[in-house]
């Protein structure tokens, strides 16, 4: 594998530079003094931001884009051998890395890198920890899988040894990382176009936990079935977190063991098991924003009340994971509370878009049944008359493998409107369609409509939604355009 020498910047070309993660890595290298350019298939707000920052972006992927002055090429996972730029790189013999390999090499340059993994909640938890570090003036380098308003984008290059990034399991990309702190939020069936089954997914998360060195720590959610199996054989400290008070550890030591020996270089305890973090006394404000008493290891201070400004109980779990990591990084509880209070969400995560004709429009990235249910439950805690969910399924393989789960989760809305499936990287429909999903939803006794065109969906909403309704555009594709069109 090609190894980057950050003391000798090169010309790096990104194929698929308009992706949220690829664009972030491109910006980090540019700020480190590298010459950065790249291509994407279409112009977007991300490519426009890159060009505004001085990075050359070519629209359209062609063989002639791969010039002889390029020293290294970075490919996104969506690029395949039939791509003309990929073919040109192979013919010219230009060194190349994939996105995950580059991210892993970046991590090596920081003393305390944090990798946040899980089927759900990665972007929100990464953003929460980012806000905490910013509140503490810790000057971190950040790579977020969404737009974080406080940093004006999805990346920030800092001057400290703190590096925080998302760790995605798709194509096992997170196995290229080198975290000192690894977070595992949850493990569920997803990306079954790559993984064989849930056992295969769990095996990859087990391998991820094994990447953390002995002087590091793995923070893991005890709601994961047989969570001990995921961290079995790792030599680092294990920190279980959950929504309930912890039982005694399997080794028989007290759940609130205080015998901590701290490594002076990392700030991470050498003790293998410590108290779990958990909340009590959860309350909500009128918009469903939770507050809770945080309990955890006494070495970091007494229990403290934490107030969030994002809705849903699932965000309590995300916050606890971020807090556990911040404790390990030496951040004070005062700065933790300050950072979480400042966090009001990232783009496309229960994002308030505006009001049209008296109904409120929210946009959300949820594209897995668990995420959909969590978002709709959070919506129920907000003021509303009816919840109208406009859902765009993401990929044929996910829709087919989780069809019944999607139908059950979407049934939490009063009215479901389906758009066509967003194919993303797939070409085979697998005999599945949004109409198939609609039949499943109606079989459960819930109202569901399907429109093949966004304009038809917009016209239906304008004609039928009324004052007090909460309209949520939902999915990982381009369904957010509907919210923007309604408000424009």
Residues in the chain: 488
CA distance 59 to 474: 28
Catalytic residue (one of 47, 76, 122, 373): 122
Contact criterion met (CB below 8 Å) for 291 and 307: yes
CA distance 159 to 248: 40
Residue 179's CB is within 10 A of a number of other CB atoms, namely 28
In angstroms, the Cα distances linking 54 to 31, 36, 49, 69, 145 are: 10, 9, 9, 18, 21
CA distance 462 to 199: 45
Residue 180 designated active-site = no
Residue 123 designated active-site = yes
Catalytic residue (one of 123, 125, 141, 360): 123
What are the residues whose beta carbons fall under 8 Å from the beta carbon of 360, sequence distance 6 or more? 352, 354, 384, 469, 470, 471
Cβ-in-10-Å burial (0-12, 13-18, 19+) of 431 comes to exposed
CA distance 428 to 397: 9
Phi, psi of 59, deg, nearest 5: -95, 120
Catalytic residue (one of 85, 131, 166, 189): 166
Helix axes 403-410, 369-380, angle to 10 degrees: 0
Phi, psi of 211, deg, nearest 5: -75, -20
* Residue in this structure with the two tokens 């194929």, named with its chain if needed: 15
The catalytic site residues sit at 122-123, 166
């Amino acid at each position: 594998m090609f190894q980057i020498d950050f003391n000798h910047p090169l010309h790096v070309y990104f194929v698929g530079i308009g992706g949220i993660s690829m664009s972030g890595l491109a910006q980090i290298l540019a700020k480190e003094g590298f010459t950065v350019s790249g291509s994407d298939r279409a112009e977007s707000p991300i490519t426009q931001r890159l060009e505004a920052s001085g990075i050359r972006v070519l629209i359209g992927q062609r063989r002639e884009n791969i010039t002889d002055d390029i020293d290294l090429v970075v490919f996104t996972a969506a690029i395949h051998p039939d791509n003309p730029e990929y073919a040109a790189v192979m013919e010219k013999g230009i060194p190349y890395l994939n996105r995950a390999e580059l991210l892993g090499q970046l991590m090596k340059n920081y003393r305390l890198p944090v990798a946040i993994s899980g089927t759900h909640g990665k972007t929100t938890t990464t953003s929460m920890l980012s806000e905490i570090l910013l509140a503490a003036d810790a000057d971190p380098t950040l790579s977020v899988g969404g737009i974080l308003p406080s940093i004006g984008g999805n990346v920030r290059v800092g001057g400290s040894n703190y590096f925080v990034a998302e760790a995605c399991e798709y194509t096992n990309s997170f196995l290229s990382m080198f975290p000192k702190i690894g977070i595992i939020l949850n493990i569920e069936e997803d990306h079954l176009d790559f993984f064989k089954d849930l056992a295969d997914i769990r095996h990859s998360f087990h391998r991820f936990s094994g990447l953390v060195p002995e002087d590091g720590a793995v923070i893991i959610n005890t709601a994961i079935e047989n969570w001990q199996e995921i961290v079995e054989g790792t030599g680092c400290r294990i920190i279980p977190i959950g929504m309930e008070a912890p039982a005694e550890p399997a080794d028989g030591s007290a759940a609130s063991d205080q015998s901590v020996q701290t490594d002076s270089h990392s700030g991470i305890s050498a003790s293998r098991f410590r108290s779990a973090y958990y909340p009590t006394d959860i309350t909500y404000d009128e918009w469903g924003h939770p507050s809770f008493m945080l309990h955890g290891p006494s070495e970091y201070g007494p229990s403290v009340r934490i107030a969030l400004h994002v809705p849903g109980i699932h965000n309590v779990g995300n916050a606890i994971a971020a807090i556990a990591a911040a404790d390990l990084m030496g951040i004070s509880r005062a700065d933790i509370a300050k950072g979480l209070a400042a966090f009001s969400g990232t783009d496309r995560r229960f994002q308030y878009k505006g009001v049209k004709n008296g109904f409120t429009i929210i946009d959300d990235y949820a594209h897995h049944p668990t995420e959909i249910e969590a978002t709709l439950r959070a919506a129920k805690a907000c003021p509303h008359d009816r919840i109208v969910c406009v859902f765009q399924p993401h990929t044929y393989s996910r829709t087919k493998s989780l069809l019944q789960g999607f139908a059950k989760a979407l049934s939490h809305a009063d009215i479901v409107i389906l758009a066509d499936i967003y194919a993303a990287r797939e070409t085979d429909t697998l005999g599945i369609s949004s109409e198939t999903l609609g039949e499943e939803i109606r079989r459960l006794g819930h109202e569901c409509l399907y429109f093949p065109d966004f304009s038809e969906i917009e016209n239906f909403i304008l004609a039928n939604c009324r004052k007090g309704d909460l309209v949520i555009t939902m999915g990982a594709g381009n369904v957010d355009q509907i919210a923007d069109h309604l408000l424009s």
